[in-house]
């Protein structure tokens, strides 16, 4: 029962942080619907079973089973994960198989991915989070063949900006440059200017 409550609180807190971040940049619907699949039995029950509190339960499940059933379910239902954005490229010659390739993420999902990474870093580093932690965590992976190049470049740019200039500058850049034509971003800029 202890793990059930702790995992529920972690998911709830993560969703709250992502919701607040999405609202600050104008992605209101995405803020409200972010990670709802984490409450589905196939994700939530694995999250409870492998809960540790300092990292994603998906990592512990992956270590125990060789794969994460919860992650496979999650990434296929949530467009803010770059793994969702893959397609196949047919072979050029007859008889060649298809190759799975990454595709470019739409800007609103790229921004949600950024907000998600920041919130996850804050949750798992509670009490000692700094703005360079999402970038440090990102640099531990190799996304060269997994994430479409322009998506990867833009995400890296946002994470570096956060590390160097902080959240206010980065969120203003997101609203005024990346999402400048998104109607919610204009509203969020107006709200932020009134504070």
| Mean of pLDDT values over 165-183 | 94
Using DSSP, state whether 101 is helix, strand or coil: strand
Is residue 173 over pLDDT 80? yes
> In the prediction, which pLDDT does 91 show?
63
Domain assignment of residue 164, yes or no: yes
> pLDDT higher for 55 or 9?
9
Domain-embedded: residue 48? no
CA-closest candidate to residue 21, choices 163, 116, 158: 116
The mean pLDDT of the chain is 92
Helix or strand run (H / E) with residue 6: helix 2-25
Burial of 83 (0-12, 13-18, 19+ CB in 10 A): middle
Task: Name the band, by pLDDT with cuts 50, 70 and 90, for residue 93.
Answer: low
Q: Does any domain span residue 127? A: yes
Q: Is residue 58 part of a domain?
A: no
| pLDDT of res. 181 | 85
For position 92, what pLDDT does the model report? 59
Whether the pLDDT of residue 162 is over 90: the answer is yes
What is the rounded end-to-end Cα distance, in angstroms, of the chain? Answer: 42
C-beta pairs of 75-80 under 8 Å, 24+ apart in sequence: 77/37, 78/34, 78/35, 78/37, 79/105, 79/106, 79/109, 79/112, 80/30, 80/34, 80/109, 80/112, 80/113, 80/116
Residue-level pLDDT at 136: 95
Specify whether the CB–CB gap between 51 and 141 falls below 8 A: no
Looking at the domain assignment, is residue 6 inside a domain? yes
Note whether residue 157 is domain-resident. Answer: yes
Question: What confidence tier does 53 reach under pLDDT thresholds 50, 70, 90?
Answer: confident
Domain membership of residue 182 (yes or no) is: yes
Q: Report the domain count for the chain.
A: 1
Residue 171's domain comprises 2-35+78-193
The pLDDT assigned to 182 comes to: 85
Asked if residue 50 is part of any domain, the answer here is: no
């Amino acid at each position: 029962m202890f793990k059930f409550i702790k995992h529920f609180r972690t998911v709830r807190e993560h969703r709250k942080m992502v919701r607040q971040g999405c609202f600050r940049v104008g992605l209101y619907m995405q803020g409200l619907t972010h990670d709802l699949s984490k409450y589905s039995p196939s994700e939530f029950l694995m999250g409870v079973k492998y809960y540790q509190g300092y990292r994603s339960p998906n990592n512990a499940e992956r270590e125990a089973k060789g794969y994460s059933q919860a992650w496979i379910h999650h990434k296929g239902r949530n467009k803010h994960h770059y793994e969702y954005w893959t397609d196949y490229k047919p072979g050029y010659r007859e008889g060649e198989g298809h190759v799975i390739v990454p595709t470019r993420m739409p800007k609103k999902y790229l921004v949600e991915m950024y907000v998600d990474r920041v919130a996850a870093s804050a949750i798992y580093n509670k009490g000692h989070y700094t703005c360079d932690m999402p970038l440090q965590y990102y640099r531990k992976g190799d996304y060269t063949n997994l994430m479409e190049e322009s998506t990867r470049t833009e995400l890296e740019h946002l994470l570096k900006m956060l590390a160097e200039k902080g959240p206010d500058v980065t969120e203003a850049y997101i609203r005024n440059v990346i999402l400048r034509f998104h109607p919610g971003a204009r509203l969020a800029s107006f709200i932020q200017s009134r504070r």
